[in-house]
Structure 1
Amino acid sequence: MNSVQQQADLPSVSSGTTTGITAKKQAEDPQDRFLKLLVTQMKNQDPLKPLDNAEVTSQLAQISTVTGIDKLNSTLQQLVSSTDDSRSVEALEMIGHSAFVPGKSISLEGEGAIAGIELEQSVDQAIVTIFDSSGIAIHTKTLGVQPAGVSTIGWDGATDSGAKAADGDYTFTVTAKQGDKEVKVNTLSFGTVNSVSHGDLGTHLDMGNKLGLVSLSDIKQVF
């Protein structure tokens, strides 16, 4: 059998196999290269000035540290991936539910509208002011003692003039005090989760044209 025939009879190596071998070789390269360099260094060391035990131990410790860091990074990546998957599942369960998210919009439909506030501490009073699309204040409501955390506020659609506001989108602000000290208030808008998307920037929830895409971490309360 001639050489041409022998070559033809040799089993072919698939590109996938070659890729797998290359990937494995690349993964093993750092440690292999280090050990080869160390062995070469020991073989070619000056007999009159050999490497001492402390130096050899130090170099072995270095490769051990690098290997440990690589394994730690791999483990952290797996944990992050697992957490992302868990949060995505959590987000999917919110579809069809309503939630409070940071915002200043409040929608009046039929009998009334709801929004929310988030306080770092309890307050003696809170004042809610609602504005129309032109930015004109149409209703002011004073609330009594409010607890720390997330609370719901309601509006029946009545204006300060006594008329009933038309259904639609409005905005609101809230000021709060504990004694004479003003306390920061985070206003919360109310909306429904329509869909969920997951990308490089994390998990986001589509809450319609008014609230748009909201990060999962911005969800304050789900109903």
Structure 2
Amino acid sequence: MGPNAGTSASDLQQTFLKLLVTQLQNQDPTAPMDSSQMTSQLAQIDTVSGIAQLNQSLGSLSAQLSASEAGQASSLIGRNALIPGNTFTVAALPNSDGSASDTVGASPFGIKLSAPATDLQLQVTNAQGVVVRTIDLGQQPAGVIPVPSWTPVDNNGNPLPAGNYTFQVADAGGAATGKNAPVTLTGITIISVVQQADGTPGLTLSNGQTIPLNGGASAFL
């Protein structure tokens, strides 16, 4: 076997069979080849062939999964990922032609509960640290509670001016506290898809952060 000889399981099997036939043709009639040794060698070749076929199947499956993940990630561009944070922005909503309208809206945000809440209370604070809105969300089950299109008004029903706001959440009933306390989530726009160092797809957010496709966000809006 030269340096350019095939090394696939099929090539090895063919080479082995040629050597085996040659050995049988030239064996000593008074000391024939041990049949158990021949059977063992054949079994080893079959094992190598089976492993090669399995590797090929797994490689094909991995390629299909990677392509599926990339397609899923691409479909998320332009949507919002809910990640840990306690901010949102109030700004003028765009018209159909892209110009700013007179109507303001809030960017998405949300809440994550690891345990049910008895009486969930949400407080919105402006840039000056003043609480401008208190919302009673009442009893809520465990899970992610997205707020994709909240109308930004204060406690008197007046529209909130454009700007950045923070919010905090607490369970007034006391059930979701301590390690089960509510986690605030902020919505950040997904602007592109990248390949991470481990080969898996990642999502680049408008704030410059990159998160993994799987497990990087609590929800997508």
Q: Could you tell me the TM-score, scaled by structure 1's length?
A: 0.62
Counterparts of 2:195 and 2:51 in 1: how far apart (Å)? 29
From 145, 149, 153, the counterpart of 1:151: 145
Q: CA RMSD in A?
A: 4.2
Counterpart selection for 2:34 from 40, 46, 51: 51
1:55-112, CA deviations, whole angstroms, 9 ceiling, x for partnerless residues? 432332222122111111111111111111122122222222x223322142221454
Q: 1:156 to 1:63 in 2, by over 3 A?
A: same
Tell me, yes or no, if structure 1 residue 116 matches structure 2 residue 110: yes
| Equivalent of residue 194 in structure 1, options 179, 187, 191 | 191
Tell me, in whole angstroms, the C-alpha distance in 1 between the residues paired with 2:220 and 2:176: 31
Superposition TM-score, scaled by structure 2 size: 0.63
**Alpha-carbon shift at residue 126 of structure 1 (Å):** 3.4
Letter aligned with residue 186 of structure 2: S
Q: Higher helix share goes to which structure? A: 1
- What is the rounded CA distance, in whole Å, between the counterparts of 1:101 and 1:80 in structure 2? 28
CA distance in 1, matches of 2:18, 2:124: 74
| Structure 2 residues not aligned, in runs of 5+ | 92-104
Residue 32 (structure 1) shift: 4.8
Q: 2: distance between equivalents of 1:34 and 1:129?
A: 76
- Structure 1 residues 70 and 117: CA distance shift in structure 2, 3 A: farther
Work out whether residues 188 and 207 of structure 2, in 8 Å CA contact, stay in contact via their aligned partners in 1. no
Structure 1 spans left out of the alignment, 5+ residues: 1-21
Distance 1:177 1:46 in 2: 94
Which deviations, in whole Å up to 9, do the C-alpha atoms of 1:41-65 show, x marking residues without a partner? 7666895584233x43233222212
Residue in 1 that maps onto 2:82: 101
- Which residue pairs with 1:167 in the alignment? 163
Hey, what's the Cα distance between the residues in 2 that align with 1:59 and 1:78?
29
Say which is worse superposed, 111-120 or 137-146, in terms of deviation. 137-146
Kept after mapping to 1: 8 A contact 2:77/2:190: yes
Count of aligned positions: 194
Q: Specify whether residues 90 and 50 from structure 1 end up closer, same or farther in structure 2 by C-alpha distance, changes over 3 A only.
A: same
Instruction: Judge conservation of contact 1:100–1:115 (CA < 8 Å) in 2.
Output: no
Q: Secondary structure at the match of 1:191?
A: strand
1:62 and 1:178 mapped to 2: Cα distance? 67
Higher mean C-alpha deviation, range 65-74 or range 182-191: 182-191
